[in-house]
Amino acid sequence: MVKRVSEKIFIAVAPKPGKYDIEEVAKGGINLIINNRPDGESADQMSSAEIEAKARALGMDYIHIPVVPTQITDEQITAMTAAIKRGGDGYILATCRTGMRAMIMYALSRAQIGVKSEDLMTLAKTIGFDLIEHRDRMVRLNSAHAEAQQARATAEG
């Protein structure tokens, strides 16, 4: 199942992505797959290397940012922000086992660039995800973004 989170970004609930799934994604116009699932979570999952090989063979870009929801680092958030930027004007599919990690990473990366935490929480809720446990971090990311914007404006004078 795929859920749209923005004009060009989709979250996939993909417990066991297989060759067929990746082919379907390519047919759907996806240009970049961002995989937020660590290798080895279950014995029957494809490895990141296998997904990447299939994606690239079908003309898609691929980025692996493995995360555990309770252990997300600032570096992983920054990597997600960069990955989304790298996707440019193309369509992006962020994926993990249940979609939750991909949604969390999407929301945190958007908060990092100034999208309001309440807007992100509302969006998540409309597509079936509850981000309340990540609200404080999104608020902090919003504040850090606003402070950086203010500092930039002050420096430009």
Strand-pair category, 9-13 with 2-4: antiparallel
Model's pTM, two decimal places? 0.93
Query: What letter represents residue 77's amino acid?
Result: I
Token pair for 70: 């309770």
Rg (CA), the chain: 16
> Residue 56 in contact with residue 62, Cβ under 8 Å?
yes
Distance separating alpha carbons of residues 44 and 47, to the nearest angstrom: 9
pLDDT, residue 16, reads 60
Task: Tell me which residue has tokens 């999104």.
Answer: 138
> For 26-49, what is each residue's pLDDT tens digit?
998 999 999 999 999 888 888 999
Question: Does residue 1 surpass a pLDDT of 80?
Answer: no
> Residue 36 in contact with residue 65, Cβ under 8 Å?
yes
Q: Outline where 17-67 has alpha helix (H).
A: 19-27, 48-57
Per-residue pLDDT band at 15 (split at 50, 70, 90): low
- From the centroid of its chain, how far is CA 41? 18
> For 76-134, what is each residue's pLDDT tens digit?
999 999 999 999 999 999 999 889 999 999 999 999 999 999 999 999 999 999 999 99
Class of CATH domain 2-156: alpha beta
